[in-house]
Amino acid sequence: MASGNDVAWWGKTRGLMITMLVIWAIFSFFIHFFVNSLNEIVVFGFPLGFYMAAQGSLIVFVVMLFWFARRQDAIDREHGVAED
């Protein structure tokens, strides 16, 4: 039987995973659905659609990786299950 601490930890971890999956889906699929519309906007001399496909999504994924690791570590420490 799960303790209250386990349920709270899993609730926060599940919320973090759902948040990460939504952000991932936005930058993996939804941005690319609107690439033609985004190409009308120019950033640093490149169409925004091209920039998001070639660089923007990759930058977001790397930032997501570090943010997820840091946030999950904070959740683990808060609930006493962190690995040192």
Q: What dihedral angle (degrees, nearest 10) is formed by the CA atoms of 8, 62, 20, 49?
A: 160
Beta carbons of 15 and 68 less than 8 angstroms apart: no
Widest distance between CA atoms in the chain:
58
pLDDT for the residue 4: 77
pLDDT for the residue 2: 61
Instruction: Specify the pairing of strand 42-43 against strand 46-47.
Output: antiparallel
Per-residue pLDDT of the chain (84 residues; tens, 9 = 90+): 567 788 999 999 999 999 999 999 998 888 778 888 888 988 888 888 877 777 888 899 999 999 999 999 999 999 998 887
Predicted TM-score (pTM) of this structure: 0.79
